[in-house]
Chains A and B, each alone.
Chain A
Amino acid sequence: MAHADTMPAHKSPTAASLSATFNPYSWVVGGVFAVLALPLVATLGYALATRWGATLTPDGLTLAWFIELWTTPRFLAAFARSLFIAVGALALSLALVLPVALLAHTRYPRLDRWMNTLILMPFAVPPVVSSVGLLQLYAGGPLALVGTPWILIPTYFTIVLPFMYRAIANSLRAVDVQSLMDAAQLLGAGPVKAFFLVVLPNLRGGVQIAVFLSFSFLVGEFVFANMLVGTRFETLQVYLNNMRGASGHFTSALVITLFVFTLILTWLGNRQAEHTITEAAR
């Protein structure tokens, strides 16, 4: 009753839940949902099936494919490599982006506009195009990085930069970093100390969102990994591609494992996002 005054009929909670069952629009949503779910459901079914031949449903259910996958040393090694590269890239990104974002929101306000243009570049240039340049620039000479994980880490920094910068810039703005720094310095802390003791703890929420989302994005990256490094440092996605000859059930288990892994990461990120929002609302 409190808000009945301004609420049109279709927004009332009871009306909505009632109409949801008969609403033709819900059928449209359901249809698209089904289409999007189909490949995922089929893959999950295949990963859990003993055999799935010319029938509508699998013959029997088993976890054997997952157990086989999770006991394959090559898979575990690829997993470890992917984690290593993702963690390395994120650490590098944080180390490079945090000072820039901080300065853009304290000392050099014009820098923020520059950065907002710069971070569009990774979107404008497809990874395949960047690879062409990277392969030539770092194939030999003093920086012969191609074929090693060391080329992927800085390259991944460039592709997560947009997420990273936006997330950090948004939380810097949200906590009004200039006032925080001013207050800390008036109380006797130097700028570096003020940053680590006052600003950074307040950025934790925003940074965590960016880290989780970037992490899931990097674990799913294939183009750079395959073109710049390939089998010489086999990551999860490259491993998956190389397993194309293996049993479909086995690769399905791998696909599902990867998907669940990124799902957990995005879920953690979104939970953090909600947490941050509720905290900010207080």
Chain B
Amino acid sequence: MTLRLPAWLWLLPFAIVFCAFQLAPMAWVAISAFNVNGDWGLGHFQEIAQSAFFRQAIWKSLTISLVSSAMGLIIATVTCHALMRSGPRLRRAMIAFTNMTSNFAGVPLAFAFIILLGANGVLTLALQQLGIIEDVRLYSTGGLIVIYTWFQIPLGILLLFPAFSGLKAEWRDAAHLLGAGRIAYWQRIGLPVLWPALAGTFTVLFANAMGAYATVYALVNTSYNLMTIRIANLVAGDLFLEPNLASALALVLVVLLVLVTLVQQWLLRRSAQHGSR
């Protein structure tokens, strides 16, 4: 090598591409959200706040995300606990399978659920024949919560399992020898130790659900009113495009995610201070 370039030049290509395709779009969203017909202002946010349509989108996004994250977290917690008490072979198989299903998301997932639970879905027809149900409404809030929960479970298991395997058998032994029963062990040691992982996993699941777009889009196109659907429709829809309004709504979405993360951090800090009881 005859040419001796300063070492930091090797960082330049990375910096340029990262700025152009990660930072610049973020900055554009943050700035254009306040651009109201060439002037600066909060007009777009007022419009969002005053529109029942946008308020409904935010409300439905929050509902579906919170419910599916909570259910996903609960099921993942129970599964991880059961996995720790199962044989090593079953444990390995289940983790591998979870890994597989965590890849199954977006459009293929929507299609699989249409085949399973759509109006003429395999399970729908089977359940109708058995007389258990009359009708499955996959395209309703309830239906979406089922699909969302389904894709939250594998993610939850993958995120929580390491924390569960970090629970040492010796802690349980020590607690029992000091007079604690099962409930006291979980209440005072098991759950407090798992708590940061549980809170962190919930935050990731929530963000995952809030940002989800492909599944709903493939399922109902733009007819279900969610934040991501609205944002996409404002920049890439068929009729009127309002990119600045889209930016404002996108900013609301990001702020909601940041808010949940801050609450999680605050709860963790608080429990680190008082949680030693």
Interface residues of A (CB under 8 A from B): 8, 10, 13, 16-17, 19-20, 23, 25-26, 28-29, 32-33, 35-40, 42-43, 45-46, 52-56, 92, 95-97, 99-100, 102-103, 107-108, 111, 118, 121-137, 154-155, 157-158, 161, 190-193, 216-217, 220-223, 226-227, 230, 237, 240-241, 244, 248, 251-252, 255, 258-259, 262-263, 266, 270
Q: Which of B14-22, B184-192, B267-275 contacts A (4 or more CB under 8 A)?
A: B14-22
Q: Name the prevailing secondary structure of the A interface residues.
A: helix
- Mark contacts of B235-251 with chain A using CB atoms, 8 A cut-off: 1 yes-contact digit, 0 otherwise: 11000000100110010
Residues of B with C-beta under 8 A to A241: 107, 217-218
Are A42 and B115 closer than 8 Å at their CB atoms?
Answer: yes
Are B253 and A129 closer than 8 Å at their CB atoms?
Answer: yes
Shortest distance from the beta carbon of B74 to any chain A beta carbon, whole Å: 11
Are B235 and A131 closer than 8 Å at their CB atoms?
Answer: yes
Shortest distance from the beta carbon of A102 to any chain B beta carbon, whole Å: 8
Residue from A126, A136, A161, A266 within 8 A of B228 (CB atoms): A126
Cβ contacts A to B, 27 pairs, < 8 Å: A16-B87, A26-B87, A28-B79, A29-B94, A32-B78, A39-B112, A42-B122, A46-B122, A99-B11, A100-B14, A103-B10, A121-B22, A123-B207, A125-B26, A129-B250, A132-B235, A133-B24, A133-B27, A133-B28, A133-B247, A135-B235, A137-B25, A222-B106, A223-B214, A226-B214, A237-B106, A263-B100
Residue from A29, A56, A262 within 8 A of B90 (CB atoms): A29
Q: A133-B26, A133-B28, A220-B103 are in contact. Are A155 and B13 (CB under 8 A)?
A: no
Are B211 and A36 closer than 8 Å at their CB atoms?
Answer: no
Are A258 and B232 closer than 8 Å at their CB atoms?
Answer: no
Residues of B with C-beta under 8 A to A237: 106-107, 214
- Mark contacts of B75-101 with chain A using CB atoms, 8 A cut-off: 1 yes-contact digit, 0 otherwise: 100110111011111100010111111
Residue from B21, B82, B257 within 8 A of A28 (CB atoms): B82
Are B29 and A132 closer than 8 Å at their CB atoms?
Answer: yes
C-alpha gap A133/B234 in the complex (Å): 12
Are B250 and A132 closer than 8 Å at their CB atoms?
Answer: yes
**B210: interface (CB < 8 Å):** yes
C-alpha gap A158/B231 in the complex (Å): 21
Residues of B with C-beta under 8 A to A100: 10-11, 14
Residue from A39, A99, A103 within 8 A of B116 (CB atoms): A39
Residues of B with C-beta under 8 A to A40: 101, 104, 112
Are B211 and A127 closer than 8 Å at their CB atoms?
Answer: yes
Cβ-closest chain A residue relative to B247: A132
Residue from A10, A99, A137, A155 within 8 A of B14 (CB atoms): A99
Q: A132-B231, A132-B243 are in contact. Are A20 and B115 (CB under 8 A)?
A: no
A-B pairs, top 6 by smallest CB distance, nearest first, are A133-B25, A126-B211, A20-B87, A99-B10, A28-B82, A39-B112
Are B125 and A244 closer than 8 Å at their CB atoms?
Answer: no
Among B122, B211, B254, which residue has the most Cβ atoms of chain A within 10 A?
A: B122
Q: Beyond A43-B112, A132-B247, A220-B103: 16 further Cβ-contacts under 8 Å?
A: A29-B79, A29-B90, A35-B153, A36-B101, A38-B123, A54-B125, A96-B18, A108-B8, A126-B207, A129-B250, A133-B26, A135-B243, A155-B21, A220-B106, A237-B107, A270-B96
